[in-house]
Structure 1
Amino acid sequence: MSENTMTLRDRIEEVLRTVYDPEIPVNILELGLVYEIRIGENNRIGITMTLTAPGCPVAGDIIREVDEKVRDIDGVSDVDVTLTFDPPWNKEMMSEEARLELGFM
């Protein structure tokens, strides 16, 4: 799929697949850490996400990476990344591919 035929949501999901939890070799989308992607007026992007653990020492790094990568997408006007622990993340939120890769199947 060329960049011209990809929707903005596709491009957001594509860059989110390049963000990894440093403790787990799987991207945050496959891990199920991204709860919601909202595309608002003037392509203002809202992302609600969580972390694998509330005390994650690299929380700021992951959020900053998400913000910077989504902000760099052509056409995006602004980005708001919201961190939530409701509902708390669990292994069931991972994609089947991620569970297979990590041996949780």
Structure 2
Amino acid sequence: MGFRQWLSKAERAEAERLPPKSELEEDVIFVLRSIFDPELPVNIYDLGLIYGLQVNPDSGRVHIRMTLTAPGCPVAQTFPTTVADTIREVPGVEEVDVELVWEPRWNKKMMSEAARLELGLL
């Protein structure tokens, strides 16, 4: 059973825009939504910090392309490891690679509707 059942109505609607390709991907996305940006009260998935997600359910390998809100972010050196360690806890995940990228530069338009609502931007 996946984790989607615990998402709020807004989060479910956003998640259903691009349905996961596998139950493992669904579980990884659920856990990404449990990781919050250190400076904003929004999870990194809805904040738009995840630029790419590749999940191979056969091998358990997960590759995440992500950014941070600013290149000078004080957690730039440690946050990718935090993300990888958290995703490694998902049952079925055997290997996690987090690639930190700076292009394209993150901006508020990358946030989901749920994130904009949470921050009072709607």
Q: TM-score, normalised by structure 1?
A: 0.89
Distance 1:33 1:77 in 2: 23
Q: Does 1:19 align with 2:49?
A: no
CA distance change for structure 1 residues 103 and 42 in 2, over 3 Å: closer, same or farther? same
Q: TM-score, normalised by structure 2?
A: 0.78
Distance 1:4 1:13 in 2: 9
CA distance change for structure 1 residues 42 and 95 in 2, over 3 Å: closer, same or farther? same
Which runs of 4 or more aligned residues in structure 1 lie more than 6 Å from their structure 2 counterparts after TM superposition? none
Which blocks of at least 5 consecutive residues in structure 2 are unaligned? 5-21
Distance 1:60 1:9 in 2: 26
Q: Percent identity?
A: 48
State which of 46, 52, 57 in structure 1 corresponds to 2:63: 46
Distance 1:90 1:4 in 2: 28
Deviation larger for 45-54 or 94-103: 94-103
Contact 1:21-1:62 at 8 Å conserved across structures:
no
> Per the alignment, in what secondary structure is the counterpart of residue 42 of structure 1?
coil
Hey, what does 2:17 align to over in structure 1?
none
| Superposed CA RMSD | 1.9
Which blocks of at least 5 consecutive residues in structure 1 are unaligned? none
Matched pairs, number = 104
Distance 1:13 1:4 in 2: 9
Deviation larger for 21-30 or 35-44: 35-44
